[in-house]
């Protein structure tokens, strides 16, 4: 799903480490679940910093994200170059700046695609129930209402790819940090989240087609 190490999403935090407290295991994820806004459509900007082992300078990118729980995710990079990744339950499509389709991966050829889509939506939307199926959860809360949720892969391909994933947020997921098994690190901030209107516009529907 990172399908070409593509990914993801989500938006600003503000946690005070000094006042943070570990939650008892039996309640892990419960507070985060109660604080997050449940939305069917989410729009935001993203800023991504990727640090690769052996390279001094990080790779920077930015753009916009459109999340529809029913349809999937449209991840549009505007810097350093324009490209669009559309991930749905049926396929993954990549497009260049002029709208030309360059690659299509269909679910029929890759059964793992559905899981990838669900995982991506869960990360952006903070779907604790979905995430708990694939990860051990470690929840840290702060007095200011912010939180951190560390995800440690239980087993399988995700454990081979990631050491852990950290989500930070409040009413929205604000940042996603991916610590890869290779030593690479990807940090993504999601800015200016909006769920108004609460349905896809005509142009947004077209973006998924």
Residue 127: CATH number of its domain: 2.50.20.10
Assess if residue 111 is contained within a domain. yes
Assess if residue 56 is contained within a domain. yes
pLDDT score for 2: 36
Report residue 177 as tokens: 């940090």
Assess if residue 203 is contained within a domain. no
Assess if residue 4 is contained within a domain. no
pLDDT score for 122: 86
d(CA 9, CA 1): 12
pLDDT score for 107: 67
Assess if residue 116 is contained within a domain. yes
Q: The pTM is what?
A: 0.82
pLDDT score for 8: 35
Assess if residue 34 is contained within a domain. yes
Strand-strand pairing, 91-96 and 101-106: antiparallel
pLDDT digits (tens, 9 = 90+) for 32-57: 888 888 889 999 999 999 999 999 99
In sequence order, which residues have a C-beta less than 8 Å from that of residue 170 and are 6 or more positions away? 12, 13, 14, 35, 145, 146, 147
Q: Residue ranges of the chain with pLDDT lower than 70?
A: 1-28, 107-116
d(CA 82, CA 203): 18
Assess if residue 205 is contained within a domain. no
CA dihedral (166, 167, 170, 172) in degrees, to 10, reads: 170
Strand pairing partners for 149? 139, 167
Range of the domain at 163: 17-194
Tell me how crowded residue 59 is: count the other CB atoms within 10 A of its CB: 13
Assess if residue 12 is contained within a domain. no
Q: In the chain, how many domains are there?
A: 1
Q: Can you list the alpha helix ranges (DSSP code H) found in the chain?
A: 30-35, 113-125, 128-134, 156-161, 202-207
pLDDT score for 109: 67
């Amino acid at each position: 799903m990172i399908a070409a190490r593509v990914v993801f999403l989500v938006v600003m935090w503000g946690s005070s480490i000094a006042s943070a407290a570990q939650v008892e295991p039996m309640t892990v994820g419960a507070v985060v679940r109660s604080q997050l806004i449940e939305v069917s459509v989410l729009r935001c900007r993203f800023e991504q910093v990727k640090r690769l082992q052996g390279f001094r300078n990080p790779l920077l990118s930015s753009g916009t994200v459109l999340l529809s729980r029913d349809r999937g995710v449209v991840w549009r990079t505007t810097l350093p170059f324009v490209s669009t990744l559309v991930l749905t339950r049926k396929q993954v499509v990549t497009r260049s700046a002029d709208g030309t389709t360059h690659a299509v991966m269909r679910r029929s050829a890759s059964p793992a695609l559905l899981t990838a889509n669900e995982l991506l939506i869960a990360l952006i939307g903070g779907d604790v129930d979905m995430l708990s199926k694939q990860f051990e959860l470690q929840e840290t809360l702060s007095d200011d209402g912010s939180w951190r949720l560390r995800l440690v892969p239980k087993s399988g391909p995700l454990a081979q790819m990631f050491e852990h994933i950290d989500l930070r947020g409040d009413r929205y997921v604000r940042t996603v940090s991916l610590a890869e098994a290779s030593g690479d690190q990807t940090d993504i901030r999601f800015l200016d989240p909006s769920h108004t209107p609460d349905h896809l516009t005509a142009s947004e529907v077209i973006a998924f087609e």
